[in-house]
């Protein structure tokens, strides 16, 4: 363990020394690039399910997030509340059609989510799910949404999923396979410039909270408009707030990596943070080395160097997860799978007759006037009250 700590400490010293040679304006330039890019968002909140357990807050969450994004300068926000499958497909197409190369694309989904055969699905309110075949017929793959953004050659892609992992639909697996909690990781199909943020880590549920919003969205609304706060720093604050509010029962999780710095709101704080970013690069690299070590010792070494660092809360969670052992004794998250086929044709296909018979759902396009296998995992929903 001492040798590992020494190697990490040496790496930190080298990075700190090299950081002095970084141009002070580089972080500011990256912030300016994302600030000037066209920003497009898709926000969906599904709550009133016709089959399965209704949810309390997704409509509130989606409404509040969409309003906040407009205040932060998003040029177009496609908002959908309580969408059936036909309406969800329409919202996704509208979002896709608004994207241009170099844009910032953000998608936020609150509602039931299902993982079947290694694929995550968003569940429309008219879905009737009894087995895995129903999921494939009635739900929409989250991969489609992710692939859509990347096919549009956008500069920055952010996918936020506020979903819990229990099973109010009481799905039955035809294979009688052993079920496990958690949505599948999508990191292997996420291209460069894409970050996926989950309300809870694999295998855990997301709290509905005691107020208007769920715990994840409450924290997101609190911090998203902080001037100069990078996306990585935002994730760290979300983790700290949610863990504190839920007594460590829930911890947001992030995958993927952006190709540059992204802030939701630029300002003086972003300029003042530029010199600190040179030092932060050392901490970020130290954290990556600690994760690569794959055991509790790496995270303990990080905490010794950065007891109040950006990733301190995550480090303590990893240490607790590993129980002081190596990854051989740690529970691995659900495995990822191969990337899906392109989705442009699927989104343009006509909806089924059953879908057209469903009552209309609310889809609102909001543009500010002043801007021109067979294994099945039943992990459903967020904000499920019958815990």
CATH number of the domain located at residue range(s) 37-268+333-377 in this protein = 3.40.50.1460
pLDDT-based confidence at residue 289 (cuts at 50, 70, 90): confident
Look at residues 194, 269, 187 and name the one whose alpha carbon lies nearest to residue 230: 269
Alpha-carbon distance of 208 to 47, in angstroms, equals: 12
Whether pLDDT at 119 is above 70:
yes
CA distances to 58, 146, 304, 371 from 55, rounded to whole Å, are 7, 24, 42, 34
Dihedral in degrees, nearest 10, Cα atoms 252, 256, 258, 262: -10
Question: In terms of pLDDT, which residue wins out, 197 or 308?
Answer: 197
From residue 39, give the alpha-carbon distance in Å to each of 85, 113, 287, 384.
Answer: 25, 26, 30, 32
Chain segment 39-93, per-residue pLDDT in tens: 999 999 999 998 878 888 999 999 999 999 999 999 999 999 999 999 999 999 9
| Apex 299 CA angle, 303 and 274, nearest 5 | 60
Whether pLDDT at 287 is above 90: no
Residue pair 108/65 in contact (Cβ under 8 Å)? The answer is yes
Q: Where are the domains of the chain?
A: 1-36+273-330, 37-268+333-377
pLDDT of residue 82: 96
pLDDT of residue 56: 87
Q: What's the whole-number average pLDDT of the chain?
A: 74
Instruction: Give the pLDDT confidence of 344-379 residue by residue, as tens digits.
Output: 444 545 544 444 444 445 565 554 444 443 333 333
DSSP state at residue 174? T
Q: pLDDT class for 168, splitting at 50, 70, 90?
A: low
Q: How many CB atoms lie within 10 A of CB 257?
A: 13
Structure tokens at 98: 């608004």
What's the whole-number mean pLDDT along residues 194-211? 78
């Amino acid at each position: 363990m001492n040798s590992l700590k020494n190697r990490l400490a040496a790496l930190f010293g080298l990075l700190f020394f090299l950081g002095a040679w970084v141009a002070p304006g580089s972080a500011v330039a990256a912030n300016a690039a994302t600030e000037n890019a066209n920003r497009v968002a898709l926000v969906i909140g599904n709550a009133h399910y016709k089959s399965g357990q209704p949810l309390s807050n997704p409509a509130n969450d989606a409404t509040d997030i969409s309003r906040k994004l407009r205040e932060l300068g998003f040029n177009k926000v496609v908002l959908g509340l309580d969408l059936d499958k036909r309406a969800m497909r329409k919202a996704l197409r509208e979002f896709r059609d608004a994207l241009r190369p170099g844009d910032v694309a953000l998608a936020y989904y609150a509602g039931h989510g299902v993982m079947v055969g290694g694929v995550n699905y968003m569940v429309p309110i008219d879905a009737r799910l009894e087995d895995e075949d129903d999921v494939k017929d009635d739900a929409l793959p989250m991969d489609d949404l992710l692939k859509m953004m990347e096919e549009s050659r956008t500069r920055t892609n952010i996918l936020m999923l506020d979903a819990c992992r229990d099973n109010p639909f009481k799905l039955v697996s035809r294979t009688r396979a052993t079920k496990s909690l958690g949505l599948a990781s999508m990191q292997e199909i996420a291209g460069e410039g894409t970050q996926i943020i989950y309300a809870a880590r694999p295998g855990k549920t997301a709290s509905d909270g005691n107020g208007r919003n769920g715990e994840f969205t409450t924290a997101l609304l609190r911090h998203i408009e902080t001037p100069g706060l990078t996306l990585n720093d935002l994730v760290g604050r979300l983790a700290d707030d949610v863990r504190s509010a839920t007594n460590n029962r829930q911890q947001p999780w992030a995958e993927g990596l952006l190709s540059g710095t992204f802030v939701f709101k630029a300002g003086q704080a972003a300029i003042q943070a530029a010199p600190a970013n040179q030092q932060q690069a050392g901490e970020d690299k130290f954290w990556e080395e600690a994760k690569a070590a794959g055991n509790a010792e790496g995270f303990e070494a990080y905490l010794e160097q950065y007891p109040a660092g950006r990733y301190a809360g995550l480090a303590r969670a990893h240490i607790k997860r590993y129980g002081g052992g190596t990854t051989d004794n740690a529970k691995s998250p659900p495995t990822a799978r191969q990337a899906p086929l392109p989705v442009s044709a699927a989104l343009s296909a006509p909806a089924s007759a059953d879908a057209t018979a469903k009552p209309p759902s609310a889809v609102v396009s909001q543009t500010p006037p002043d801007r021109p296998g067979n294994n099945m995992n039943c992990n459903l929903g967020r904000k499920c009250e019958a815990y």
